[in-house]
């Protein structure tokens, strides 16, 4: 990984193979997937990511499903990470004490068994591990902090100019700049958007009883509360609530907040005794109207954002990154122009079914669990019971949601 040495630009335009806007988890994973491709990749990141610490740990946490953990292992990233294994998941709602339970033995297939359903990682640790993996690679460059002043789509290439006058050009620019993507806006791509009128409160907490690698999710009429297992007996909470309630909960002192948290979560882990700093993130469902345009592709949250109730946002983004990288590598191999729509459309067609299916499920789950229609709580209870007793179907459902049934892109397989 190299850094730019300041020089007199004198109108010089640096030619690279792929430009990437945004070096978050998805942008960096995309660069990792291209590290051995021989292509010159330049990422432009506008700022150092700020880490939000709560009880001494980043409270921006992601559940990485098994299929994606395997991809990160294939890329050489996983050895730099210490994820907390999630062996089991318990889901219930406030009207039915029984709920549903998913255990790691249920995803075993033939002779293959697994250690975990997925792993919890701190976002800042995943980013650091991705950067560490890229360190030996001179073909990958990260310009940070850097602000793009202008982007122009010209014949056969796209050109950007940074605020300091530095110019770069490439056959393709990739937008990995998050939900409020600047690049998407410059390309005049609109979004289908759904404002949940909710925010997710995140914080780290310490319960009295050890979590034993179990992730808990309680659905309430006002939104889900997830309690995710982390190192040192801590749990990371993601508590989605409608905005007026979020304001109220955020205004409480720690004692008041713990009181409400204990009441909502119940006694599964004993009393929750300590809470660190809290932050609230507005929740929006969003899908870009186009994933690709000539010489442009969107990945990660720039392409789609989903409700965090199943913790799948970055997982979808990582799969975008792998598939796009694979299409670019294949195009290079067969002498194709990877900024051309014939190549980019292949990426779009491969990704849309997964994106739409995950977005659709999240929307459905959100509606089912927050709707107050008469009779729905009973149906919900019956549904959970039916899935819980469904044997082979439950196992298939779990293998699908852990990403194990999806094909692994070639260069990382």
Ligand X SMILES: Cc1cc2nc3c(=O)[nH]c(=O)nc-3n(C[C@H](O)[C@H](O)[C@H](O)COP(=O)(O)OP(=O)(O)OC[C@H]3O[C@@H](n4cnc5c(N)ncnc54)[C@H](O)[C@@H]3O)c2cc1C
Binding site for ligand X (CB under 6 A): 21-27, 44-47, 49, 62-63, 148, 176-178, 182, 200, 202, 238, 281, 300-301, 308, 311-315, 317
| Residue 406: partners with Cβ closer than 8 Å, 6 or more residues away | 67, 319, 354
Which of residues 324 and 377 has its CB atom nearest to ligand X in the complex?
A: 324
Which of residues 317 and 339 has its CB atom nearest to ligand X in the complex?
A: 317
Dump the DSSP string for 172-198. EEEE-S-TT-HHHHHTT--EEEEEEEE
Phi, psi of 271 (to 5 degrees): -80, 135
Say whether 213 sits in a helix, a strand or coil. coil
What is the C-alpha to C-alpha distance for residues 411 and 42, in angstroms, rounded to an integer? 20
Q: Shortest gap between Cβ of 71 and ligand X (angstroms)?
A: 13
Which of residues 178 and 207 has its CB atom nearest to ligand X in the complex?
A: 178
Dihedral sign computed on CA atoms, order 340, 343, 349, 352: negative
Q: Shortest gap between Cβ of 103 and ligand X (angstroms)?
A: 19
CA angle, residues 395, 234, 365, in degrees to nearest 5: 40
Q: Shortest gap between Cβ of 321 and ligand X (angstroms)?
A: 9
Q: Shortest gap between Cβ of 183 and ligand X (angstroms)?
A: 7
| Residue 269 DSSP class | T
Q: Shortest gap between Cβ of 199 and ligand X (angstroms)?
A: 8
Q: Shortest gap between Cβ of 130 and ligand X (angstroms)?
A: 10
Which of residues 62 and 70 has its CB atom nearest to ligand X in the complex?
A: 62
In 3D space, the residue among 217, 215, 263, 273 whose CA is nearest the CA of residue 240 turns out to be 217
Which of residues 25 and 355 has its CB atom nearest to ligand X in the complex?
A: 25
Q: Shortest gap between Cβ of 35 and ligand X (angstroms)?
A: 17
Q: Shortest gap between Cβ of 72 and ligand X (angstroms)?
A: 12
Tokens describing residue 310: 């199943």
Alpha helices in 277-375 (DSSP H): 313-333, 341-370
Q: Shortest gap between Cβ of 26 and ligand X (angstroms)?
A: 3
Which of residues 18 and 312 has its CB atom nearest to ligand X in the complex?
A: 312
Which of residues 197 and 271 has its CB atom nearest to ligand X in the complex?
A: 197
What is the C-alpha to C-alpha distance for residues 225 and 239, in angstroms, rounded to an integer? 4
Which of residues 163 and 273 has its CB atom nearest to ligand X in the complex?
A: 163
Tokens describing residue 366: 């959100």
Dump the DSSP string for 9-38. -TT-EEE-SEEEE--SHHHHHHHHHTTTS-
Burial of 364 (0-12, 13-18, 19+ CB in 10 A): exposed
- C-beta atoms surrounding 155 within 10 Å: 5
Which of residues 92 and 239 has its CB atom nearest to ligand X in the complex?
A: 239
Which of residues 144 and 252 has its CB atom nearest to ligand X in the complex?
A: 144
Q: Shortest gap between Cβ of 225 and ligand X (angstroms)?
A: 12
Dump the DSSP string for 214-233. EEEEEEETTEEEEEEE-GGG
Tokens describing residue 209: 């009883």
Contact status, residue 226 vs residue 238, Cβ threshold 8 Å: yes
Contact status, residue 274 vs residue 261, Cβ threshold 8 Å: no
């Amino acid at each position: 990984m190299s850094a730019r040495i300041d020089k007199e630009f004198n109108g010089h335009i640096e030619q690279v193979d792929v430009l990437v806007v945004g070096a978050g988890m998805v942008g960096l994973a995309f660069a990792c997937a291209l590290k051995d491709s021989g292509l010159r990749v330049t990422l432009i990141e506008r700022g150092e990511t700020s880490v939000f610490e709560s009880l001494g740990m980043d409270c921006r946490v992601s559940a990485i499903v098994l299929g994606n953990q395997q991809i990160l292992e294939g890329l050489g990233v996983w050895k730099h990470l210490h994820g907390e294994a999630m062996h089991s998941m318990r889901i219930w709602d406030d009207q039915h004490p029984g709920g549903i339970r998913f255990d790691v033995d249920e995803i075993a297939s033939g002779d293959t068994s697994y250690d975990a359903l997925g792993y919890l990682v701190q976002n800042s640790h995943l980013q650091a591990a991705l950067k560490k993996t890229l360190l030996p690679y001179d073909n990958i460059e990260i310009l940070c902090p850097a602000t793009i002043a202008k982007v122009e789509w010209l014949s056969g290439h796209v050109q950007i100019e940074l605020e300091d006058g530095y110019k770069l050009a490439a056959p393709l620019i990739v937008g990995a700049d998050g939900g409020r993507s600047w690049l998407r806006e410059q390309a005049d791509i609109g979004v289908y958007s759904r404002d949940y009128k909710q925010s997710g409160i995140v914080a780290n907490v310490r319960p009295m009883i050890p979590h034993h690698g179990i992730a808990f999710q309680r659905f309430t009429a006002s939104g889900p509360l997830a309690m995710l297992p982390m190192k040192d007996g801590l749990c990371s909470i993601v508590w989605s609530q409608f905005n007026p309630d979020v304001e109220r909960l955020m205004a409480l002192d720690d004692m008041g907040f713990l009181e409400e948290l204990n009441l909502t979560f119940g006694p599964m882990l004993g009393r929750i005794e300590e809470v660190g700093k809290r932050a609230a993130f507005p929740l929006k469902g969003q899908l870009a109207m186009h994933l690709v345009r000539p010489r442009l592709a969107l990945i990660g949250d720039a392409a789609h954002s989903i409700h965090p109730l199943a913790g799948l946002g970055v997982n979808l983004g990582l799969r975008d990154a792998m598939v796009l990288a694979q299409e670019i590598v294949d195009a290079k191999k067969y002498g194709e122009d990877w900024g051309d729509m014939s190549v980019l459309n292949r990426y779009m067609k491969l990704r849309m079914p997964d994106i739409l299916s995950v977005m659709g499920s999240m929307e459905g789950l959100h509606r089912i669990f927050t709707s107050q229609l008469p009779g729905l709580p009973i149906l919900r209870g019956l549904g959970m019971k039916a899935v819980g007793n469904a044997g082979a179907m439950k196992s298939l459902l779990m293998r699908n949601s852990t990403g194990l049934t999806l094909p692994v892109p070639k260069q990382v397989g």
